[in-house]
Chain A
Amino acid sequence: MSAGGARERGAQAGWVVVLERELRDLWVGGRGLVLCFAFSVLVSAIAYLAATNEALNFLEQREALNLVVQVGMIVGALLALLAAADAISGERERGTLESLLVTPVSRRQLAGAKLLAALSLWLAAYAILVPYGWFLARSVGSVGTALVASFVIGTLLATVFASLGLLVSLFASSNRVSLSVALLALFALFAPTQLPGGARQGWFADVLLHVNPATAAERFVNRVLISGSSWSEEIGWLVSPLLAAALLGAAALLLASRMRLGGGGAG
């Protein structure tokens, strides 16, 4: 076996070891379960309020499904962002980053493992969301569409926000700064989804809605679940979430090599 092959295997084992440790910390340590419990309480409350109208209405059932799916995706992405924003700056603040940096694992692999661990929170949130989605979607005959759309779009959004959180965490000197900046970015991107319909008209608004991955994802899910449009008709809305996930994920991994013990960039 060549030295290069052995090194590659060793390096591969390195990120797997970090990922295992991160997953154990998150799930066996109990933090992940507490977050999932809070997530399930929130989704339960929204699903119950949305589903128990006095008057059963076909249109409102689609809207109820859309509401629960969108809240599930956004909060799932928020959980991934919180875990990622804590990933490096948290270690830095607790004084454990130094011992991590001296291990024979490259900084890029370290960041990759932490990103995957953060995304495990979204996967758990999706698993919790599935029964609610199935329950609400079966009466309007769109179980498959709702579950597949929420998985694809939610995974893209979680990747976008977890990568963003990790990027900020790489260079933030404290956890407080990292969480504040990452949350501000999340709210700024989701704020346009709350604009009234009239403010979203015109070519400029249309460009902004397409460019912003959060609004594009929201619009895609709206069209597919409420209007009953096909994926091929609305595929244009998927471009910016896909690009943002790929670019921010790549940026977080590439810039991880500039990670420093005291925060800030290389220099």
Chain B
Amino acid sequence: MRRLRAFATALLAAAAALPASAVAATDAGSGLSATVDRAQISTQLGRGFAFHSTITNAGPQTARGLVAHLSVLSVREEPYVDPEDWSPQRVVFLDPIPAGGSRSLRWQMTAVNAGTFGVYVTVLRKDAGEAPTPNTPTIDLRVTERRVLNSGGILPLALAIPALLGALTIALRLRRRA
């Protein structure tokens, strides 16, 4: 029993360590599957990052009218996520994918909030009534804050210019009095 539990634990740990592409979401009905090349992304606020998703057609027929959509959501109550800020292009209309073929997409994003987020790609059909379509596994995105005491050193500039103009004004007044 103890050996069985150890085996199960090891199996679960191995599954957790697998890259996301190895746990692709497949829809048995349509033969379509969608994968991503990253299971987790760690980055800093304001940084850009990218990942690839691959949509594979394992079915017997060419898959037509597919639309890939990038989604990002916060897995905590805060912060609020506006996906438009994260990526300029979140929808891709795919060319037909022949039977046995695949299509790879590169998604460029910018981390605009700090926190823990889920990122995934949904594949939809233009005609909603047709066979169901898959999502990719969710990428675990961790964005850490980048704290700065003085953003780029604007303080010297913000003090120097008024000080200079103030000194000029006082000098001019003193000269006029003299």
Same complex: yes
Residues of A that sit less than 8 Å from B by CB: 28, 30, 33-34, 36-37, 40-41, 43-45, 47-48, 51-59, 128, 131-132, 135-136, 139
**How many angstroms from the CA of A59 to the CA of B112 in the assembled complex?**
7
Among candidates A33, A52, A135, residue contacting B165 with C-beta atoms closer than 8 Å: A33
Contacts of B152 in A (CB 8 A): 51, 135, 139
Residues of B that sit less than 8 Å from A by CB: 45-46, 85, 110, 112, 114, 145-148, 150-152, 154-155, 157-159, 161-162, 165-166, 168-169, 172-173, 176
Query: Is B112 touching A57 in the complex (CB atoms < 8 A)?
Result: yes
Of the candidates B114, B145, B166, the one having the most CB atoms from chain A within 10 angstroms of its own CB is B166
Contacts of A45 in B (CB 8 A): 158
Query: Is B161 touching A44 in the complex (CB atoms < 8 A)?
Result: yes
**How many angstroms from the CA of A52 to the CA of B155 in the assembled complex?**
9
Query: Is A135 touching B112 in the complex (CB atoms < 8 A)?
Result: no
**How many angstroms from the CA of A41 to the CA of B147 in the assembled complex?**
26
Query: Is B85 touching A132 in the complex (CB atoms < 8 A)?
Result: no
Q: Which residue of B lies closest to A30 (CB)?
A: B172
**How many angstroms from the CA of A37 to the CA of B148 in the assembled complex?**
29
Give 8 CB contacts A-B under 8 Å. Answer: A37-B168, A48-B158, A51-B152, A52-B148, A54-B145, A56-B151, A57-B45, A132-B157
Contacts of B162 in A (CB 8 A): 37, 40-41, 44
Query: Is A135 touching B157 in the complex (CB atoms < 8 A)?
Result: yes
CB of B39 to closest CB in A, whole Å? 25
**How many angstroms from the CA of A51 to the CA of B112 in the assembled complex?**
16
Q: Given A47-B158, A128-B161, A135-B157, is A52 in contact with B150 using a C-beta cutoff of 8 Å? A: yes
Query: Is A48 touching B147 in the complex (CB atoms < 8 A)?
Result: no
Contacts of B157 in A (CB 8 A): 44, 47, 131-132, 135
CB of A235 to closest CB in B, whole Å? 22
CB of A34 to closest CB in B, whole Å? 6
**How many angstroms from the CA of A57 to the CA of B148 in the assembled complex?**
11
**How many angstroms from the CA of A5 to the CA of B105 in the assembled complex?**
73
Among candidates A33, A36, A52, A55, residue contacting B154 with C-beta atoms closer than 8 Å: A52
Contacts of A43 in B (CB 8 A): 161
**How many angstroms from the CA of A179 to the CA of B150 in the assembled complex?**
40
CB of B105 to closest CB in A, whole Å? 23
Among candidates B154, B161, B176, residue contacting A40 with C-beta atoms closer than 8 Å: B161
**How many angstroms from the CA of A52 to the CA of B151 in the assembled complex?**
5
Contacts of B169 in A (CB 8 A): 30, 33-34, 37
Q: Given A33-B165, A56-B146, A128-B161, is A135 in contact with B173 using a C-beta cutoff of 8 Å? A: no
Contacts of A58 in B (CB 8 A): 46, 110, 112
Contacts of A128 in B (CB 8 A): 161, 165
CB of B153 to closest CB in A, whole Å? 9
Q: Which residue of B lies closest to A52 (CB)?
A: B151
Contacts of B172 in A (CB 8 A): 28, 30, 33
Q: Which residue of A lies closest to B168 (CB)?
A: A33
Q: Given A47-B154, A48-B155, A135-B152, is A56 in contact with B161 using a C-beta cutoff of 8 Å? A: no
